[in-house]
Structure 1
Amino acid sequence: MSSSTHARLRQEAIAFFEAEVSASVRSELAELGAEFVPRFHRKMGEAGWIGLQWPEAYGGRAQGHVAGAILQEEAALAGAPVLASNINAIIGSTLIVHAAEELKRRVLPRLISGETVLCLGYSEPEAGSDLASLRSRAERSGDGWVINGAKTWTSLAHVADHMFCLARTNPDAPRHRGLTMFLVPMADVAVEPIWTLGDFRTNATFLDGIEVDDRDRVGPVDHGWDVVMTALDFERAGTARVGEAKRLLSQCFLAARSRGGFSAVERDRTAELWSQVLVVESLAYEVARRQEAGEPVTKMSSIAKVAGTELVQRVALAVMEMLGSDALLSRGAPGAVADGEVEVAYRNAVRYTVTAGTNEIQRNIIAQRGLGLPRSS
């Protein structure tokens, strides 16, 4: 796509979010705490934003991964509740790479319309950063599978229709083999809430004899590691953190202007932060361009994930320090900056360095696969 087409798409996205991210949507977003507002998600589907980058053959708009990155950035800049559409985009893009044709044609249109909501079932109580040590088991049963195990940090599990679930199918195979990915129906999966430091609801989920049709297997048996690595590349490479950093700085600018502006030191600090935003933005879009070209991006997506998540932490801390005590006020408190959004963002920022693989693990990937350094003994 040309730069002019991308510019028009960006303006289309800005107009959509300005019209649809209403005060009632923001209120519902704050109250529910899961970054999900059902009616807004359906609006995203109706407007054709979910699956923006997917082929027309599956109901998408065939706009490519750079267009998807533009949408993600503008959604974050607008403060839109797009976790469900982002997860659908991650999983849908992975299905296009790995799933059987029948599964793609059955599932992707429902993701695009917003009818189906998905959640990610990777981490477990005893397997997070060391994902290959997971213990959930999938065993053959007739024409399907029976899954037993537990997953944690399963965001949106309480509203999801299916879980993108990684389970062990061959306990005798090497750790990174013997895993298989499934789309698991959530109807009989037990869900318990977990509330994070940032007032975000994620979940613990328990799979007890859950039956899955073999048609809902994603990729070959015992090759689930390849599938989850593709999904993680899509998840880590996004531009959402760029949009969030820009939103925080914009809120800081508005608050400072109402107080008479920045001091010279604060101007220098915000200029430095804005330059960092532009660097991370360039990196994130380069990853999207390489994905669009079909190039491997594992190393670069890890770099982008570390850079973006730690940028948001630095920006949130700087905004809190520059705006002082008013930035500590919560939603509804008189004088709260951006109605308390800044202090929530500050508490929430640490979560991003943990999700999609901790930043410590990302640094290992960068060192080993990017720089060719040996594993530590």
Structure 2
Amino acid sequence: MRDYPNDQNLQDLQERYHLFAHMDAAIIDAERDKACPEGPLQDLVVGLKANIASIGANWSAGLRHRIAITAQSDAHLTKRLRDHGARILPGLNMDAAALGGGTDNPDLGRTANPHAPDHSAGGSSGGSAAAVATGLCDVAIGTDTLGSIRIPASYCGVFGLKPTFGLIGRSGIVPLAPSLDTVGILTARAGDVWPVLQALAGPDGGDTDSQPAPAQWANQTATPDAQGLRIGIPQQVSTVECTPETLVALASARTTLEQAGAHVETIDMPEWNPAKLRQKAFLMTEAEGAATFAEALGTAGTLPRTVERLLTYGSTLSAAKLVAGMAEIRAARVQLARSFAQVDVLLMPTTPQRAFQADAPAPANQADFTALANAGGVPALAVPIEVAGQALPASVQLVGPAWSEPRLIRLAMVLESAF
């Protein structure tokens, strides 16, 4: 746990990495001076992505036309964090409208990767991942539609959890695609994920998708443990072009989990085509996003050019294409259910590559592995894996059935101790 950052520290990090979409000194000073109630997150510094409301702070969602908007109340999750003793650091940078994979915002600036500033931090929660990687905050909260927490976690070398759909309430968050959007957590240590998740879980009357965790879910403990677990590596990993470092990290993770007592095997998931699911799910994101931002989309020049182009396309999708997209998502859900009848957890890369050069296009396949958990509504946890002799980390992803977050965290702690 760290002290709330001082103005000079904030300014230095902002100049080096551009962690904030907007850094309001008055709001930050007010947050620094607030008394925190006693609680399990006492004085924990928690950063918030710029689409999450924090009372009095800018609430832009990375969009130029929202820069003048300030939140009139806290988001559901912001209030829960405060009630549990956390200190809030609002306004972390993001892709415009959360529709992107590099946090290279045309209006609000690019977030640099703390491991290599000329490389991408990933997106859309790149400011959140980079803020944790630099040590600015203990924890950051982001949103994940097709991988927007886990992709930047992979590139920035931190832990990134996308929990079970509906576990964390989303009221007070600017949405993108509500059928896929999930709130999640980024941390530097695996053990920090569980207490924050416990604090955030709970009913949200403002979110129609909010659902309670099963009885006794919150009473579990998170200690390193892999003993006796059945872990499956999908054969379909081989259908995605991965860099050698990514595959070395996957092999290293497998060996570590086997040595810790897990049984790891290759399994077939024939109904999951990683590239096809990612493409179809992105179509659904464009279609839902077009409805979410219909008013802005109706006024030319309001949205950044790339966002406008993607959402305009989404608004014109035929019924046949939308039905095909929904069918692909349903097939992925069925495949996951079948796979979890065979194994307890899936192990795969988080992204097929490590962070890419900031001036290069985002790899088309960077969400091939992450989109699966969004389609299935199940939890997935990105775990950093150090690559010997390399500045840039790699990452593996643990995917489990609904409500298996404690199990994923226990496995992540095993991997953390080895790397």
Question: What is the TM-score normalised by the length of structure 1?
Answer: 0.28
Q: Which has the bigger relative contact order, CA under 8 A and spacing at least 6?
A: 2
Higher helix share: 1
Which has the larger Rg? 1
